[in-house]
Amino acid sequence: MRNEMKQLFMVISFLSVLFVSPLPTLAETDVFSDIQGQMGQDIMEAYDLQLVNGYPDGTYRPNEEVTTAQFSTILSRVFAEHEVDVSLGSGDATPLTREEAAYYMNLGLGLEKQAEGFSDVPNSSPYAGDIGAVQQTGIITGYSESHFGYGDTLTRAQAAVFALRVYHYLDPFELEETTIADIQAAMDRGKLTAEELVGMYLERIDLYDQQGPAINSIITINPEAEAIARELDEERAVSGPRSPLHGIPVVVKDNFDTVDMATSAGCLCLKDSFPLDDAEQIKLLKDAGAIIIAKANLHEFAFGITTVSSLGGQTLNPYNLDYLPGGSSGGTGAALAANFAVAGLGTDTGGSIRIPAAFNSLVGIRPTIGLTSRDGIIPLALTQDVGGPLARTVADAAHMLDVTAGYDEKDVVTAWSKGQIPASYTDYLDVDGLQGARIGVARELFSDAAESEEVNRLVEQAVRDMERLGAEMIDITLPNLEEISQYPSLSSWEFKFQLNDYLAELGPDAAHQSLTDIIESGDIEDSMRDSLIARNERESLDEEEYKDIVLFRTRLTQESIMKVMADHELDAIVYPTTTHPAAMVGQSQTSGANNRLSAFSGFPAISLPAGYTSVGTPVGVELLAGRFEEPTLLKLGYSYEQGTRHRKAPALLQ
């Protein structure tokens, strides 16, 4: 009896430290002093959910053993939060083993016992079925495919991670701010179907895009989206998902060819233009099981950065309806910010992916020219054009890049991508990715205009955050910046000729055969007329001025970036995505020339959420790296994203 009382006293005493004693607030400690990496992130999330506590000295002591009493207490909190009626018992001070943890978790989950394939789990073990069942959910895994760690005691770190996984496993599916991983997990657990998901997004589009605040981001809704989703659900049930994008609703800018929906570039003149086949990136998405749920508005023919078109009208910024969403991929940007789809595609000739990413608190990637095919994209200037992903998270952007990158015989420049594409871009999602990185800070790309003050403040904070997260931030001066900045975009030269080539590919029954036909039709945005006429007056690309720009601008920009990166041994260069914040609807929008570094060099860049202005509009920070260094950008971007968590849904739509 004395030993039992002593044991009980030890349990109560230890629990009082582990679960009752006050801790310094997060504002004081930010994280426990002895945790780091992804496991540290999970421990902190479990702490935020009040599932676990640390010690009064600000440590967590992740490697200490956990007793059955302690784990029972943690799981009881998880199950009580989700109204699961189960009794786990009070436990005792005996150290808990990994197999016992599986048993305790399955008591509340109530899963059917499953066979497991670990070589170190005895066939006679009473816990084998629980291990197999919980393993199927992904909540608990082995040290390797063949080794479970049978008999090993559970650590405090593992207890927090397992409890957090159980917590999220029991969470009901929530559409707002969901991710590709969240959706696949919900589908794997039978909580969600692709058809249900499409229906939820269509309802949200109707509620917020067509009515209510009327964001006006969508031009066309796919009438077959629900039928396609049903077919994908049936396929999943028989053979499993094709890829992480199986059943994932995607919205694409309406200058990507879609054989089953008109492709308009936002122009009334092309409102009934059906291409003969899908753009290569659209085909790749469909092959991966993605659902093109809708096509998004854009600045007509991708000419500007305010996203207004004769067919789609003016798109609004979901964070503040009085402000612009950026462009030219502003419809895709606003739609994703407003949670009308999971991820999307935009195009970028100057800054048309990254500007709407900045103004809508999104991740936007302008890939290396040659990484993704431009086949089937209505061109603006193929010397600079590229299509790439927009998403709410770096991970989702990486999933999109996995599917859309690669060689396409119809776009010869993609031959450069051979041997440059990793097995998966998601392999580079490292929460500690900024540790030891060397990043050049291009402060000459900050604007000294009064209206740029908030942008500068937020991007300077981003620089400090990157340093806090382990990067060495080095002030740099970009060689030849003034000369580079004086070069024009080539859209004023190439557009007419490349558009005419595109129109010819639509076949003899196409409504318009040339830019001249389009101008004469009158079915264009009034503010576009003069620009279209000026471009239509170009007579040839066989002019020395044009050839000099193509040759010298590209070489000078590439060599200048490469030199400064080599001189300072940099992984990337950082600067504001745009020098100015989002402007009010009806006013002119200034973005600055920072976006041209990537466009003129052909090197990749990523825009990341950096915070919000006093009127609630988002601001972005951009990272630029060398050719085909998308893995580096994803690693750095993911680390920054996870260390700052700036992205939040628009308050107007909650």
Residue reference for tokens 């109204």: 83
Check: CB of residue 554 under 8 Å from CB of residue 607: no
Query: Nearest Cα to 62, choosing from 164, 154, 166, 179?
Result: 154
> 446 — phi, psi (to 5°)?
-85, 145
| Mean local confidence (pLDDT), 647-654 | 90
Question: Bridge partners of 313?
Answer: 309
Does pLDDT of 38 surpass 90? no
| Mean local confidence (pLDDT), 235-262 | 98
* pLDDT tens digits, one per residue of 137-164: 889 989 998 999 999 999 999 999 999 9
Does pLDDT of 28 surpass 70? no
Burial class (CB in 10 A: 0-12, 13-18, 19+), 641: buried
Average pLDDT, the chain: 93
* pLDDT tens digits, one per residue of 486-540: 999 999 999 999 999 999 999 998 989 999 999 999 999 999 999 999 999 999 9
What is the predicted pLDDT for the residue at 30? 53
What is the predicted pLDDT for the residue at 3? 41
What is the predicted pLDDT for the residue at 9? 34
Does pLDDT of 69 surpass 80? yes
* pLDDT tens digits, one per residue of 171-211: 899 999 999 999 998 998 889 999 999 999 999 999 999 99
* pLDDT tens digits, one per residue of 376-423: 999 999 999 999 999 999 999 999 999 999 999 999 999 999 999 999
Catalytic residues: 253, 328, 352
* pLDDT tens digits, one per residue of 591-604: 999 999 999 999 99
* pLDDT tens digits, one per residue of 441-450: 999 999 999 9
Q: What whole-number percentage of the chain has pLDDT above 70?
A: 95
Distance from C-alpha of 336 to C-alpha of 649, rounded to nearest angstrom: 10
- Measured from the Cβ of residue 635, the count of other Cβ atoms closer than 10 Å reads 25
- Between 8-17, 174-183, 365-374, the lowest mean confidence (pLDDT) is in 8-17
- Residue type (1 letter), 554: T
* pLDDT tens digits, one per residue of 603-638: 999 999 999 999 999 999 999 999 999 999 999 999
| Mean local confidence (pLDDT), 433-460 | 98
Does pLDDT of 23 surpass 90? no
Helix ranges restricted to H, 506-581: 515-521, 529-536, 544-548, 554-568
